[in-house]
Amino acid sequence: MNNLDKILLIGCGNMGGAMLAGWLASGMEPSRFTVVDPFLAEAPPGVELLRDLPDRSFDVILLGVKPQLLGEVAPQLGRLAGAETILLSILAGVELGSLAARFSGARGLVRIMPNLAAAIGKSPIALAARGLDEADRERVQALMAPLGTPEWFDESLFDAVTALAGSGPAFVYRFIDALAAGAAALGMAPDQAERLALATVEGAGALASASPHAPGELARRVASPGGTTEAGLLVLDAEAALARLVAATLKAAADRSAEMAAAARG
């Protein structure tokens, strides 16, 4: 296997659609992609859309259906996931062992945790694999690179990864809402508060990504002694309020990921 040229997407919902959009935006040829989805109204121009599984081989199959449909889809898909095919899965809570039990003939298996920022090439992408040699791992990483920042993890960390990288954007969006609501409570027009909150978070994130300094150090540099920022940080830091809230939030998401994995194992 030299290139991962022929890619089949099984299901193209929010996450699968975001990944497809990111690949196409990066310049990948639409003709490389085939989508099988009985409900998708239309595919992007040049991408083949089918309602049923085709009778031909693919280099990569991306499994993007709802996790509870895996038992229904796997028997039909097994004939396509052969010795020359790498199976990628974005199914939350479905472990490599569960995939191996259903797709034993595949060349290799990769569990992926991206988020919707894949559509703009800005997603953290956690990867865990079974059955891949080093060359195949490099090919998979290259395939994921246009979508953001791929990084390999031991699968034992995937519940934590899911909580942070998978669910994390929703937590950030809630924080943006909270910033805007707080500004509105101080008298700012709600629409202005939302725009300012979005711009603030966008700028802070971009600077943190580009800076050689850790986020904690950047916060310290913004906060002049006795100034307005320090006054606000004292509220967030009182009795580690923010740190405890975020830790509890991530733990709840990670615990739910572990529950879903246990259910998938049966």
Q: What is the pLDDT of residues 74-128, one digit of tens each?
A: 998 988 999 999 999 999 889 999 999 999 999 999 999 999 999 999 999 999 9
As a whole number of Å, the end-to-end CA separation of the chain is: 34
Q: Residue 63: its pLDDT value, please?
A: 96
What pLDDT was estimated at residue 235? 96
pLDDT, one tens digit per residue, over 124-143 is: 999 999 999 999 999 999 99
- Protein fold of 7-155: Rossmann fold (3.40.50)
pLDDT for the residue 196: 98
Instruction: Kindly tell me if the per-residue pLDDT of 1 is higher than 60.
Output: no
pLDDT tens digits for range 22-74 = 999 999 999 999 999 999 999 999 999 999 999 999 999 999 998 888 888 99
Mean pLDDT of the chain: 94
Q: List every span in the chain annotated with CATH 3.40.50.720.
A: 7-155
Q: CA–CA distance from 126 to each of 101, 113, 159, 183, 220 (Å)?
A: 22, 5, 11, 35, 30
The contacts of residue 85 (CB under 8 Å, 6+ apart) are: 57, 58, 59, 60, 61, 106, 107
Q: How confident is the model at residue 190 (pLDDT cuts 50, 70, 90)?
A: very high
The CATH class that applies to domain 168-260 reads mainly alpha
pLDDT of residue 205: 95
Confidence at 2, pLDDT banded by 50, 70, 90? low
Residue 93: predicted pLDDT: 86
Give helix 190-210 / helix 215-222 axis angle, nearest 10°: 120
For residue 3, the model assigns a pLDDT of 81
